[in-house]
Amino acid sequence: MLARYARRVLYIELAVYALAAALSHRAGWPTVFASLLGFALCARLAGVAASFAIAAGVSQGEHGVRLSAAEWLRVAIVETACVTLTYSVLMPFPRAFSRADSRLRPAAGTLPVLLVHGYCCNGAIWTPMRRFLEARGVPAFSHDLGPVFAGIDDYVGALAERIEAVCRTAGAERLVVVGHSMGGLVVRACLRKGRGARIAKLVTLGTGHRGSRMARFGQGENARQMEWGSAWLRALEQAEHGAPAVPVTSIYSPIDNLVVPRESAVLQGAKNLRAAPIGHVSLAFAPAIREMVLAEIRSL
């Protein structure tokens, strides 16, 4: 469903560019088309830069860092590239880039991995991560959350069924789950409901374990549950009694532009790893993050 919506948005965007180019008689359509694409990329860069600026203004905790103007620009450009790749290439055409299931069998001492995406996304965002893991002998599977704007608890049943299916397919008793952003909260909800007996370890990337002030701009029940200090998040924390049900590693960026304040990604009772300064979506793509994830999988 989300892939169809992303395709429609992409097609409409391209149609607008093509129409504007066709209506131009002086500059010629190739020049106009290229100019419009350039404008779209600049607009996305401006939006990403604005998100960093807002996040920096709200989050003044101990986990912040100081960057030069050139470093901020580099981070914003990389984040814009990752956002564009995710929403304009991977998400609209998930079947063209990856399969839901892995064909690898786990080697001795290696557990399969299930990758769970975040808010308003789908499993295609994991394409580079899956290819990286499978090239190193780790069977990697993905899972799509839906409906898009449902409550986080509503995702638990399908996730639990997917976990069982992955274990059967891989011939494994247990697995590792990697959750990006909201995906980490969905897995924690699954554990709270007693549906995660096969989860050996949870690795979260940019998950706002205590919520985010940026969630107020989102739509749906899940966005309300991810707001900073929400009743849902407090209940989740109380149910864990200060310690997650399984070993958890939280990997986070000190300049995350969507998890605000950034300290929200630090989970009590977990192994918290601060990554190099990168954007929220970039966490699913950065080579250094992939290495960190692989190290956490192999540490089992």
Q: What is the mean pLDDT of residues 126-137?
A: 95
Inform me whether the pLDDT recorded for 19 exceeds 90. Answer: no
Per residue in 156-203, pLDDT tens? Answer: 999 999 999 999 999 999 999 999 999 999 999 999 999 999 999 999
pTM of the predicted model as reported, rounded to 2 decimal places: 0.90
Burial 221-248 (b: 16+ CB within 10 A, else e): ebbbbbbbebebbeebbeebeeebbbbb
Per residue in 56-96, pLDDT tens? Answer: 877 655 455 788 999 999 999 999 999 999 999 999 888 88
Of all residues in the chain, what percent carry a pLDDT higher than 70?
A: 89
Q: What is the mean pLDDT of residues 212-236?
A: 96
**Helices of type H across the chain:** 2-23, 29-58, 69-85, 94-97, 127-135, 156-170, 182-192, 221-225, 231-240, 287-298
Q: What is the pLDDT of residue 226?
A: 98
